[in-house]
């Protein structure tokens, strides 16, 4: 019984056998019921044609006929069973082989070999299963790759500020550095960087677990856009990037957490500033219809390829790693922003005609209906 439960091959063979037995049984029943009548009818026809036939002979004929039918049925059942064994062995091999391969590959993947894939042939459901299995393996491989990268990135981000704090401390101890405000300020800068990284990481893990706490209230989107613009205005002036704001005052209300949406706008406007060279410009505008409000942040900066646009919302994805590191970015901002916007039942999208042709980020939020 255990063997039966554990092996698909046995189950298939038994199902065939059941069909055969049912067929043989139905034939036997039908023969038992119907054959004597049919034969007698036939014989009485013959009797009228050929004259009297001995009734004893008739009885013998009936019995022989019954035996012959049973023999035929027995031989047919035997042949059918042999055929069932052959066919089920073939079918089983065809079905079980890919399944066994998938089991073996999944075990190897679980053991850390993320590049393993199954071979897919044909177009049936098994092939479909193979394709989606491979897709899953590919996703796992990418996730694993990102996890590895994440550890490397976090270690790197931690190492730089820590070693610069350490060298300042050593300088102070050796008397090479003076204990003056400039020295303290440099240490504070590094500590701020560390704090920001830790805060971003915490927030990222909360966002990915779907545990962002939102204090929703009806707000005019112009409010959080303006707050972010006001906060970054000086930085735009410092870098000589022109910031154009075109937000109509009569936007429809949206249900939002103002602090969180400000954070999204700060990230988008901060990115636009960071990735747009001096002398160029960034525009933030809003459009609305009766369903949604679109807040569009458009820059004339370094732009993005189609491939980069596909990955840009992934955590720790940075187009230019070395530049982002010196610029302080860790590639988490857009991931968190997307989670925040989606927690508002909205969408965050990116578009760019290509490298050095600028980028456009659009926040889409649903309008409140009463």
Ligand X SMILES: Nc1ncnc2c1ncn2[C@@H]1O[C@H](COP(=O)(O)OP(=O)(O)OP(=O)(O)O)[C@@H](O)[C@H]1O
Cβ-based nearer residue to ligand X, 130 or 346 = 346
Q: Does 319 bind ligand X (CB under 6 A)?
A: yes
Provide the minimum distance between the beta carbon of 329 and Mg ion in the complex, in angstroms, as a whole number: 5
Could you tell me which stretch among 86-94, 190-198, 233-241, 263-271 binds Mg ion (CB under 5 A)?
263-271
Q: Does 271 bind Mg ion (CB under 5 A)?
A: yes
147 burial (CB, 10 Å; 0-12 / 13-18 / 19+) is exposed
Torsion of CA 302, 307, 310, 312, to 10 degrees: -40
Contacts to ligand X from residues 176-215, by CB under 6 A: 200
Please tell me the distance from the alpha carbon of residue 299 to that of residue 193, in angstroms, as a whole number: 26
Binding-site member from 207, 251, 296, 312 for ligand X (CB under 6 A) = 312
Cβ-based nearer residue to ligand X, 295 or 312 = 312
Cβ-based nearer residue to ligand X, 220 or 271 = 271
Could you tell me which stretch among 139-147, 248-256, 265-273, 283-291 binds ligand X (CB under 6 A)?
265-273
Provide the minimum distance between the beta carbon of 231 and ligand X in the complex, in angstroms, as a whole number: 15
Please tell me the distance from the alpha carbon of residue 365 to that of residue 258, in angstroms, as a whole number: 13
Q: Does 302 bind ligand X (CB under 6 A)?
A: yes
Query: Going by C-beta distance under 8 Å and a sequence separation of 6 or more, which residues neighbour residue 366?
Result: 254, 255, 291, 292, 344, 345, 346
Binding-site member from 130, 252, 331, 346 for ligand X (CB under 6 A) = 331
Please tell me the distance from the alpha carbon of residue 346 to that of residue 342, in angstroms, as a whole number: 5
**Residue owning tokens 């735009």:** 236
Residue ranges that bind Mg ion, judged by CB under 5 A: 267, 271, 333
Residue ranges that bind ligand X, judged by CB under 6 A: 200, 267, 271-272, 275, 299, 301-302, 304, 312, 317-320, 324, 329-335, 359
């Amino acid at each position: 019984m255990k063997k039966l439960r554990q092996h698909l091959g046995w189950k298939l063979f038994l199902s065939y056998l059941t069909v055969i037995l049912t067929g043989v049984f139905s034939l036997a029943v039908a023969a038992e019921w119907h054959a004597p009548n049919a034969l007698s009818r036939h014989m009485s026809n013959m009797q009228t044609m050929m004259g009297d036939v001995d009734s004893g002979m008739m009885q013998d004929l009936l019995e022989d006929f019954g035996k012959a039918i049973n023999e035929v049925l027995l031989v047919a059942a035997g042949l059918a069973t042999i055929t069932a064994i052959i066919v089920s062995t073939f079918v089983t091999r065809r079905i079980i082989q890919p399944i066994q391969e998938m089991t073996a590959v999944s075990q190897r993947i679980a053991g850390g070999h993320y590049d393993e894939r199954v071979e897919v042939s044909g177009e049936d459901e098994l092939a479909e299963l193979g394709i989606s299995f491979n897709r899953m393996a590919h996703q796992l491989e990418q996730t694993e790759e990102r996890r590895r990268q994440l550890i490397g990135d976090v270690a790197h981000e931690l190492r730089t500020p820590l070693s610069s704090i350490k060298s300042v401390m050593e300088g102070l101890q050796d008397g090479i550095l003076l204990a003056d405000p400039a020295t303290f300020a440099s240490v504070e800068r590094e500590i701020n960087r560390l704090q920001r990284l830790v805060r971003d990481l915490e927030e990222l893990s909360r966002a990915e677990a779907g545990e962002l706490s939102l204090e929703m209230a009806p707000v005019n989107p112009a409010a959080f856009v303006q707050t972010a613009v006001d906060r970054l205005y000086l930085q735009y002036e410092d870098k000589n990037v022109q910031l154009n704001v075109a937000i109509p005052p009569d936007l429809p209300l949206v249900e939002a957490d103002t602090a969180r949406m400000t954070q999204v706008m700060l990230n988008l406007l901060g990115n636009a500033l960071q990735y747009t060279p001096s002398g160029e410009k960034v525009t933030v505008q809003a459009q609305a219809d009766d369903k949604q409000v679109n807040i569009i942040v458009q820059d004339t900066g370094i732009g993005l390829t189609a491939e980069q646009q596909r990955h840009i919302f992934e955590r720790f994805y940075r187009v230019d790693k070395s530049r982002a590191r010196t610029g302080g970015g860790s590639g988490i901002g857009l991931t968190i922003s997307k989670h925040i916007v989606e927690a508002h039942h909205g969408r965050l999208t990116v578009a760019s005609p290509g490298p050095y042709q600028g980028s456009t980020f659009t926040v889409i939020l649903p309008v409140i209906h009463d």
